[in-house]
Structure 1
Amino acid sequence: MTVLPDAGATPPGPTVPTTPLRVAAGQAEPVPGDVAGNAGAAAELTRRAGAAGATLLVLPELFLPAYHPPTLAAGNTVDVAADPAGRVADPRLDRLRATVRETGVVTVVGAAVRHPDGRRTCSSLVVRRDGQVVVGYDKQHLWADERALFVPGDRGATLSLDGWRFGLGICYDGCFPEHGRAAAGDGAHGYLCPSGYLVGSEHRRDLYYPARALDNTMFVVFANAVGGADPWRFNGGAAVYDPQGRVLARGADTGVDLLVADLDPAVLTATRAAHRMLADRLPHQGGPRRVVPA
């Protein structure tokens, strides 16, 4: 796992944070191709999150260019460029940078990223408190249509913030129990999942992310796009789940919203004491299998 420190990395292990953290999940409708305008919308949501007392905001998958495959396929003007250290200096993000510096709300926002070696990835950018923008994570599990647009990332990532550790995932990543488990194995207390779920996928949207929370007894912050035009119309439902998969905050299937919830380390400790899947899991799930004839 790559660790992205904000104010000092916390080592992995059984430790839990010492103080609660207020987080926000954004549910919003970006405009296809309008990176500057969508960054401005992200800035407004960051300001709202700060006014609500949040320290961390998660925005939907590919929020900056919008999750709109025809636009993404049309050219690279919707991409942001990363330098060899993973830093992004695109001036279209200046308003968002300034708002994060002003509010102190660390913001995770989806983008299409061009890397110096020519790779194009579906990524989460992390806007740090000092306004610096870095590529936090490149999506590892690409959905069918995305494979013509992006290359998969090759490693996981953990965001360290005020003593909390958050595994980073993007949409389809959260459909794989192993992805969330890898984050938990790295000491994650939570899992951040910016996503792009389409109308008609409500059942899966509402199943995967509370399952990842309970699987790994960790908080999950799920941000989703909303609105758009068929066949790229998104179904909202942004949410924050506690470590047993129970809803702490939830958005409707339509409409722009900001969901705010407090992550309590006492809840994390109590849940992991009562539900010991992380501590009791077998390293190889019982070793080699045998066939039992019926």
Structure 2
Amino acid sequence: MPPAPLTVAAVQAEPVPGDVAGNAATAARLVARAAERGARVAVLPELFLPAYHPPALRADPAGTDVVTAEDRTVDDPRLEPLRAAAVSGGVTVVVGAAVRHPDNRRTISSLVVDRGGAVRVGYDKQQLWGGERELFDAGDRGATLLVDGWRLGLGICYDGCFPEHGRAAAADGAHGYLCPSGYLAGSEHRRDLYYAARALDNTMYVVFANSVGGAEPWRFNGGAAVYDPEGRPLARGADAGEDVLVATLDPAQLAATRAAHSMLADRLRDLGPARLSLVG
């Protein structure tokens, strides 16, 4: 178990399509709000830096991407306000970006801005949804972020729709699962079900961030949330409007939940060589 509680923030906000510098400044303002409320980790939505807006991402890849070096570090002056906010607030930031890799792959990724201001690519989305496949390449591995003794699995939006993705994080020892996302208006039922289920499936906390606003057909529905290890919301945003949702992850609650609901310990590693087919 982690040594102490960890306060986290799930952010919902509306980025401007194509404006990486402006959206980084918005992210910095929201991170400062999270820090004022005691958050040590802040999670912002999927593709927040360029905005989840396929026409802009298609029209200006050079302007909407951030470039990573071979060691997955990012040195982009447009991110300076966000780096400064992470340092001044003592907050580790997870924020969505479009990333161009040295081999020219383009991924939907989560950048991690640490409390010293260093920026690196933390995770590349593995499960691409719909038209994302026309613009991006899929990641090829999972990732776990270590913060203050907490192991936090990283996912992005559609990843969280697959039980095995969250389970892989739990199998790696995750105490929580961070999911920057971009859920469109009309998907509220699925938005509220998937991430609560990933929490309960794996008896781990889940931090879900989402965009709001935007013009049809790219209008997003908020509902940012932090779920406890039984899938109950500790904090949840409305379907519209900017918000910073703050909650504290408690190792005692995590331990108690895992003692009472021992799915991780009880799960079978092998369900057998084949399934039986029965005729009724």
Distance 1:178 1:285 in 2: 15
1:257 aligns with 2:262: no
- Tell me what 1:109 maps to: 95
Backbone CA RMSD of aligned residues: 0.6
Instruction: Give CA-to-partner distance per residue, 1:13-64, whole Å, 9 cap, x none.
Output: xxx1010000000000000000000000000011001100000000000000
- Tell me what 2:211 maps to: 225
1:188 aligns with 2:174: yes
SS for the counterpart of 2:46 is: coil
Matching of residues 20-35 of structure 1 within 5 Å = 20-35=5-20
1:202 aligns with 2:188: yes
Matching of residues 168-187 of structure 1 within 5 Å = 168-187=154-173
| CA displacement at 1:98 relative to structure 2 | 1.0
Distance 1:262 1:291 in 2: 47
Q: Which runs of 5+ in 1 are unaligned?
A: 1-15
Q: Which runs of 5+ in 2 are unaligned?
A: none
- Tell me what 1:278 maps to: 264
TM-score by length of 2: 0.99
Identical-pair percentage: 72
One-letter code aligned to 2:19: D
| CA displacement at 1:220 relative to structure 2 | 0.1
| CA displacement at 1:284 relative to structure 2 | 1.7
| CA displacement at 1:289 relative to structure 2 | 1.4
Instruction: Give CA-to-partner distance per residue, 1:93-138, whole Å, 9 cap, x none.
Output: 0111111111110000000000000000000000011100000000
1:268 aligns with 2:254: yes
Instruction: Give CA-to-partner distance per residue, 1:183-205, whole Å, 9 cap, x none.
Output: 00000000000000000000100
Distance 2:203 2:109 in 1: 25
Match of 1:44 among 29, 50, 53: 29
One-letter code aligned to 2:115: R
Instruction: Give CA-to-partner distance per residue, 1:63-108, whole Å, 9 cap, x none.
Output: 0000000000002211000000000000000111111111110000
SS for the counterpart of 1:71 is: helix
Distance 1:198 1:287 in 2: 40
Distance 1:49 1:27 in 2: 12
One-letter code aligned to 1:288: A
SS for the counterpart of 2:275 is: coil
Distance 1:54 1:286 in 2: 45
- Tell me what 2:78 maps to: 92
SS for the counterpart of 2:64 is: coil
SS for the counterpart of 1:144 is: coil
Distance 2:17 2:271 in 1: 45
TM-score by length of 1: 0.94
Distance 1:82 1:43 in 2: 20
Matching of residues 2-17 of structure 1 within 5 Å = 16-17=1-2
